[in-house]
Amino acid sequence: MDKIFLHGMRVETLIGVYAWERQQTQALTVDLDIGMPERATLADDIADTVHYGEVCETVRRELAGRDFLLLETLAEYLAQLVLDDFGAQWVRVRIVKPGILPAVRETGVEIERRRSA
């Protein structure tokens, strides 16, 4: 299984259920594992793969202009964004909301989605 990954991407978005969480954007850490097209390893051409710089830029731009109540909804949004906008065959999205609970280093969600046949 060939993949492109972006791990530890820092993003800012408005997220949370509680009023105190929604007073300002929060920093999240996003990990993306993206299934590469098979042709990506056959030619030395950026057009034959998923451009990870564009993925990163798109994710940051989209999240800066949106708000979510749940990490689960945010993860689904990112998964569909990568599948639809970048033609990935599959994607794994992991989102960490650091320091949100006392004595817990990381809280988050992880989902995997595949392109519909």
Confirm whether 3 is a catalytic residue.
Answer: no
Can you tell me the distance from the alpha carbon of 62 to that of 59, in angstroms, rounded to the nearest whole number? 5
The answer to whether the CB of 88 falls within 8 A of the CB of 80 is no
- 108-114/3-15 β-pairing: unpaired
- Phi and psi at residue 19, in whole multiples of 5°? -55, -40
- 3-15/67-68 β-pairing: parallel
The answer to whether the CB of 99 falls within 8 A of the CB of 69 is no
- The active-site residue out of 76, 77, 97, 115 is 97
Catalytic residue numbers read 97
